[in-house]
C-alpha cells in the first residue's frame, strides 16, 4: 500500500512538473506570437488599404478614361468596344490586329494611351450564376448567348428569339453588322451579369483562373492572385455598387 501511495504521489508530482513546464513555455510562445500577430494584422491592414485605394481610383477614372473591352474565343478576338463618354465598336481591322497582339501577349500595344484593357474569354459566360440572361424583358440561355457570339449570323439567331435592334439599343444598320451585334450582346451580358452584384466574385475568380485579363494590373487584381476570394468579396461588392453601367449605345456612322 505504501508503495502504491508513493507511485501515485510520484505520478502527481510528474504531472504537476509537466504542466508547470508547459505553462512556462506557453508564456514564451505567447510572447513570440504577439509580435507575429501584430505584423500579420499590419500586413492585412495595409493590403486592405491599397485594395480600397485602388477601387477608389478605378471608380473615379472609370467614367472619364478610355477602356478597351475585348471578347475572345481561343485567343481570337470575337468582338469588342472602346468606352469613354461614348461607346465605339471595334472595326474588323482592329479585331484582326488585336488578335495578333493578344497571341503575342502585347497588351501594352492594344491599350495604347487608354486607361484600362479588359479581355474576357467567352467561357466566362458559362460561369454565371443564373442560367438565363435578360435582354429588355426577354431572355435567352447563357449557352444560346455563347452560340450567338460564335455565330456567323448572330442577328438572325437573336431575331429567332424575338430580340431586335431596339432590345440591343443599336440601329437597324448595326443589326446587319455581325461584329456590332455581338458587341451589343456582349455589352449587355457584361454590364448586367458579369460586372454586377449578381456575380460579385466572378471578375476576381475569372482573373485568378486566367479567363479574364486586366491590364495594367493594380493592387486589387494582384491581391486576387494570392488572397482567398472571400477576403476581397467586400471589395468586389464596392466596385459593383459604384460601377459605370456599360450601355452599348453608339452614334450612327456618318
pLDDT 10s digit of each residue in the chain, 254 long?
A: 455 555 556 656 666 666 666 656 666 666 666 676 677 677 666 666 766 666 666 555 555 668 899 999 988 999 998 887 677 889 889 999 999 999 999 999 999 988 889 999 999 999 999 999 999 999 999 999 999 999 999 999 999 999 999 999 999 999 999 999 999 999 999 888 887 778 878 888 898 889 999 998 877 777 777 777 766 666 666 555 544 444 333 333 33
Rounded CA separation 20/27 (Å):
11
Rounded CA separation 189/50 (Å):
29
In a domain, 220, yes or no: yes
In a domain, 91, yes or no: yes
Overall domain count for the chain: 1
Is the peptide bond between 198 and the residue preceding it cis, with omega within 30 degrees of 0?
no
pLDDT at res. 191: 84
Question: What phi and psi values does residue 77 have, to the nearest 5 degrees?
Answer: -70, 125
In a domain, 225, yes or no: yes
In a domain, 26, yes or no: no
In a domain, 250, yes or no: no
Q: Residue 212's domain spans which residues?
A: 67-242
Question: What phi and psi values does residue 129 have, to the nearest 5 degrees?
Answer: -65, -40
Residue 52 cell numbers, joined: 480600397
- 194 near 227, Cβ under 8 Å? no
In a domain, 207, yes or no: yes
Mapping DSSP to helix (H, G, I), strand (E, B) and coil, where does residue 107 land?
A: helix
In a domain, 15, yes or no: no
In a domain, 179, yes or no: yes
Rounded CA separation 220/236 (Å):
9
- 72 near 88, Cβ under 8 Å? no
- The predicted model scores a pTM of 0.73
Amino acid at each position: 500500500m505504501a508503495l502504491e501511495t508513493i507511485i501515485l504521489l510520484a505520478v502527481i508530482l510528474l504531472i504537476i512538473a509537466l504542466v508547470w513546464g508547459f505553462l512556462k513555455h506557453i508564456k514564451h510562445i505567447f510572447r513570440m506570437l504577439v509580435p507575429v500577430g501584430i505584423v500579420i494584422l499590419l500586413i492585412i491592414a495595409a493590403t486592405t488599404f491599397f485594395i480600397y485605394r485602388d477601387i477608389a481610383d478605378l471608380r473615379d477614372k472609370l467614367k472619364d478614361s478610355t477602356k478597351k473591352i475585348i471578347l475572345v474565343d481561343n485567343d481570337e478576338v470575337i468582338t469588342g468596344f472602346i468606352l469613354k463618354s461614348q461607346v465605339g465598336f471595334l472595326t474588323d481591322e482592329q479585331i484582326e490586329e488585336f488578335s495578333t497582339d493578344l497571341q503575342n501577349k502585347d497588351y501594352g500595344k492594344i491599350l495604347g494611351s487608354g486607361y484600362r484593357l479588359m479581355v474576357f474569354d467567352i467561357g466566362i459566360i458559362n460561369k454565371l450564376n443564373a442560367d438565363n440572361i435578360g435582354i429588355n424583358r426577354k431572355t435567352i440561355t447563357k449557352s444560346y448567348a455563347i452560340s450567338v457570339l460564335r455565330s456567323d449570323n448572330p442577328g438572325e439567331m437573336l431575331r429567332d428569339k424575338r430580340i431586335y435592334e431596339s432590345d440591343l439599343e443599336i440601329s437597324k444598320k448595326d443589326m446587319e453588322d455581325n461584329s456590332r451585334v455581338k458587341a451589343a450582346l456582349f455589352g449587355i451580358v457584361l454590364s448586367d451579369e458579369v460586372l454586377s452584384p449578381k456575380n460579385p466574385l466572378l471578375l476576381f475568380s475569372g482573373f485568378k483562373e486566367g479567363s479574364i485579363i486586366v491590364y495594367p494590373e493594380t493592387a486589387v487584381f494582384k491581391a486576387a492572385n494570392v488572397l482567398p476570394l472571400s477576403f476581397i468579396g467586400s471589395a468586389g461588392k464596392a466596385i459593383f455598387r459604384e460601377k459605370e453601367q456599360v450601355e452599348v449605345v453608339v452614334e450612327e456612322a456618318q
